Amino acid sequence: MKKVFVALVFIYASTLFGAYEIKLGVYKNTKNLQLNIEKIKSTKYKKYISIRRKNNLNYVHAIIDGNKKEAERALKIYKTIFKDAFISHRKVVQIKKVQKKVSLKASSIVSLTTPPQIPEIVKVKHFNAQKLLKNKTIYLCYETDVTHSQKRIMEMKFSEGTLKYRSLLHDFTPIDVVYHFDNESIYLEISGIDFKHRIDDVNENSLYLTSFINGKKAHRLRYYFTLKDAKKYMRNL
């Protein structure tokens, strides 16, 4: 029986922390997202883009393999379309491919197919809410999953034990809110309702958070460090 050599590709996940994730944004309107992607002239940078669909929202990011300069070049290009794009402080589990030549009898050769593998994002950094927010004033914005609050900016002045909480959309009197920090979370009590804001990611201008109301997951939030950046985000919604 004649033998032949067949190249088989084995794919397995390994923690090769050499890739960079660029977060491009969160979109509810799929058509608008597709139009924005089409504005990117470079086919190479289009291919880096990946979209995750969750809770009727499109989470858009790009994975750049192992080259910081390439990631920085990509970021400049993406920011011309996706104004809030940034390189995330996360590490990426890449899919490693190993090719081997295997000697098989001709009669035993079968067709092998491998399903496509999607890189898995692994959160490896813990955030210290107290260190990031103690004695600071921040400007809270809702992401696009909260229609009634999209244009509202809430000012939050953190002090010892309580914070001043007020809306900048209307001339309401600020209220004092009892709060405390716990690792990456901020716990607040407003009108008898328990709120938790959990920090998921950080960049130089803002924090990305998930809110929970009485223990149930609610909305995506952003804490901006300046009112200017908060207003800029609102204008781009």
Inter-residue contact 180 to 197 (CB < 8 Å): no
Q: Which helix (H) or strand (E) holds 36?
A: helix 30-38
Lowest mean pLDDT across 4-18, 31-45, 56-70:
4-18
Confidence of residue 198 (pLDDT cuts 50, 70, 90): very high
Q: What is the pLDDT of residue 135?
A: 93
Return the percentage of the chain with pLDDT > 90, whole number: 24
Instruction: Give percent helix, percent strand, percent coil of the chain, each to the nearest 5.
Output: 20, 50, 30
Confidence of residue 121 (pLDDT cuts 50, 70, 90): very low
Q: Look at the pTM and tell me if it is higher than 0.75.
A: no
Nearest to 52 by CA among 85, 75, 24, 77: 24
Q: What is the pLDDT of residue 66?
A: 66
**Sequence-separated (6 or more) residues with CB below 8 Å from residue 141:** 152, 153, 154, 221, 222, 224, 230, 233, 234
Inter-residue contact 9 to 98 (CB < 8 Å): yes
56 φ/ψ angles, rounded to the nearest 5 degrees? 65, 20
Q: How far is CA 41 from CA 31, 84, 152, in A?
A: 18, 19, 34
Q: What is the pLDDT of residue 137?
A: 95
Q: Which residue has the higher pLDDT, 196 or 29?
A: 196
CA distance linking residue 222 with residue 200, whole number of Å: 10
| 180-197 confidence digits (pLDDT tens) | 999 999 999 888 889 999
Domains of the chain: 3-107+116-122 (3.30.70.1070), 129-236 (2.40.128)
Q: Which helix (H) or strand (E) holds 129?
A: helix 129-133
Inter-residue contact 59 to 52 (CB < 8 Å): yes
Termini Cα distance of the chain: 67
Q: Which residue has the higher pLDDT, 219 or 101?
A: 219
- Reply yes or no on whether the pLDDT at 209 is more than 90: yes
- Give 51: exposed, middle or buried? Use CB within 10 Å, 0-12, 13-18, 19+: middle
- Reply yes or no on whether the pLDDT at 115 is more than 90: no
